[in-house]
Each structure stands twice: as structure tokens, then as C-alpha cells.
Amino acid sequence: MSIVPHSPALAELHHGSPCWVDLATADLQATVDFYSGLFGWYFSDVDGNAIALVNGLPVAELVVADKPSAWTLYLNTPHARATAEKAHALGGEVLGEPSDTVTVLADPTGAVVGFRHVPPDWVFGADGHGAYAWAELNTRDGHAADEFFHELCGYEITQIGDGQAVDYTLWAIQGNTVLGRQRMGRAFAPETPPHWMVYFTAAPEIGTDSAATRVLELGGRVTVEPYDTPFGRITVVADHTGAVFSVIDPSRTTPLSDEDTGSRVDDPYDD
């Protein structure tokens, strides 16, 4: 079950707030072509990488790298090395040597996430077609993930559902919900590893269904057909390299029925 808050605005950049996303790619030009064709992103070159812009604001980075293509979420941290050390002490795995500003790690359940120290005037666009909308951790051990990130980032954790048939938690900072955590159920193939899902916004005048069609036209795949939720119409797609992400039109909300209220949301991620 995917839970996406209505507000597209990011929280203030406290420790643990989403602050950036990037995509590793071996073919920068082909990836630029895909995402400019899908979202209309404009790009600026920074040190050989491509910074994506929506309404003039940076929303993502395409990083040239010879490794499997995947989106990485970054959370704000006051000091990356200190975060890496604490994560290791809590049972996480630090991937590569951290710097003072950036570290990438795997939590104890195996999902990879980055931490980045950003300045007070840091800009991360979260409004408009193709802008960041939401992110959630998909894992088979929800309790371990909740405990780890509560200790690491101080999140306030709220259980959605009964924790059994529906096990989804919302993570908040000072009362502002910033992320979600979903226990992976039967809808996920057994070989699917724990992972973070990054959501991008579909503008109402374009919509989720048109975005899914455009993904196919550009050589990508639709892995979950568009479906309705109380938080917007969502689809899960993969780009031309196989990197998976979600698209949501938050204007297309469908209220829960009386029988669903307090129990289940009928979507492809239910157990």
C-alpha cells in the first residue's frame, strides 16, 4: 500500500529531510533524452553530470557511472561522516568511504540510501511536472527499518493499518511527514531486494496515464499500471535502462470506501 501525503512541499531541511535524488547512468545523453521526453526536464552541466531543472529549480541529478542504473534518495545530515559512523554502530553498512558532505549506506534490511550535508540556501524543487513528490522504503522487515531510522534520524513514527494485513508507517520530523515505510508483501516477487521508491509528480493537465504511455514510447516499461488511491493516481515504471520510479498525479484522489476505511486500501501493493 502506497501512502503519499497531499502536500508537495518538502519539510524544512532538518536532519533526515529528503534533500536530493540522483540517477547513475552509463549513457548520459540517452538518459537525458528519456527524462526530457518524459517530464520536459531541462538540464545544466555541472562537472560532467547533468542537473535536471523544473521551472528553473533543480530537481535531480544524472550521474555518469559504470554501474547498474538506479535512483538514489538523499537525506539531509549535519555531518555525513558522523551519520556513517552512527549508521554502522546501529547495524547498517557504509558503502564506500564517506566524505564530510556525502555518504551512502545500506540499512540493516538492505535498502540503499544516501545522506548529504547541504547549505542553508540549498534548493530542491518539489513543485511542478517531474518534480520530486515522495519517497518510501520497501522492506520485508518493517520493524527493523523503523527502529534503525528512528535512532539514526529521530523520526516520529506512526503506524498505518493494523501492522499485519497492512503494515505501513509514516516518518515525520517535528510533526511534518517526510517519508513512508512499507512492508513488502505478496505483490513483490521473492527476489525483489529492499529498496527506496522515489515518486515524481505528474501535472494534472498531463496525468499519470499519459505519463505511463510516454514511458512506453520512450523505450521504458510500465511495471504497475496506473491505479487510484486516496492520495493520487499512481503508476510504477522503469526507464530505458531499467531504473524504477513512480509517477503520481496528486489531483486525482479517490476516497476510501466505507468498508476500506480503517482496514485496507485496494491497490497492487496490498498483502
pLDDT at 13: 79
40's enclosing H/E stretch is none
Distance separating alpha carbons of residues 19 and 39, to the nearest angstrom: 20
By C-alpha distance, which of 181, 172, 165, 156 is closest to 262?
165
What is the predicted pLDDT for the residue at 51?
A: 97
> Does residue 231 contact residue 253 with C-beta atoms inside 8 Å?
yes
Going by the DSSP 8-state scheme, the letter that residue 220 receives in this structure is -
What's the whole-model pTM score?
0.90
What are the cell numbers at 49? Answer: 553530470
Residue environment code for 41-67, b if the CB has 16+ CB neighbours within 10 A, otherwise e? bebeeeeebbbbbbeeebbbbbbeeee
Distance of CA 229 to the CA centre of its chain: 17
Helix (H, G, I), strand (E, B) or coil at 69: coil
The distance from CA 194 to its chain's CA centroid, rounded to whole angstroms, is: 13
Q: How far apart are the first and last CA of the chain?
A: 8
- Phi first, then psi: give them for residue 202, nearest 5 degrees: -100, 125
* Rounded mean pLDDT for each run of 10 residues along the chain, 271 residues in total: 45 86 96 98 94 97 92 97 98 96 98 96 94 97 97 96 82 96 90 96 97 98 94 96 97 65 39 38
Cα(230)–Cα(148) distance, integer angstroms: 29
Burial class (CB in 10 A: 0-12, 13-18, 19+), 38: buried
Dihedral pair phi/psi, residue 8, rounded to 5°: -85, -5
SS3 241: coil
Going along the chain from its start, the domains and CATH numbers come out as 18-249 (3.10.180.10)
Distance from C-alpha of 177 to C-alpha of 4, rounded to nearest angstrom? 10
Q: What angle do CA 190, 133, 109 make, to 5 degrees?
A: 30
By C-alpha distance, which of 143, 172, 160 is closest to 262? 160
Question: What's residue 215's pLDDT?
Answer: 98
Sign, Cα dihedral of 236, 227, 75, 206: positive
Distance CA 6, CA 126 (A): 12
User: Which residues on neighbouring strands pair with residue 102, listed in sequence order?
Assistant: 116
Give the model's pLDDT for residue 12: 65
DSSP string, 155-177: -EEEEES-SSSS-EEEEEETTEE
Predicted confidence at residue 219, as pLDDT, reads 98
Q: How far is CA 8 from CA 24, 49, 125, 200, in A?
A: 25, 26, 10, 10
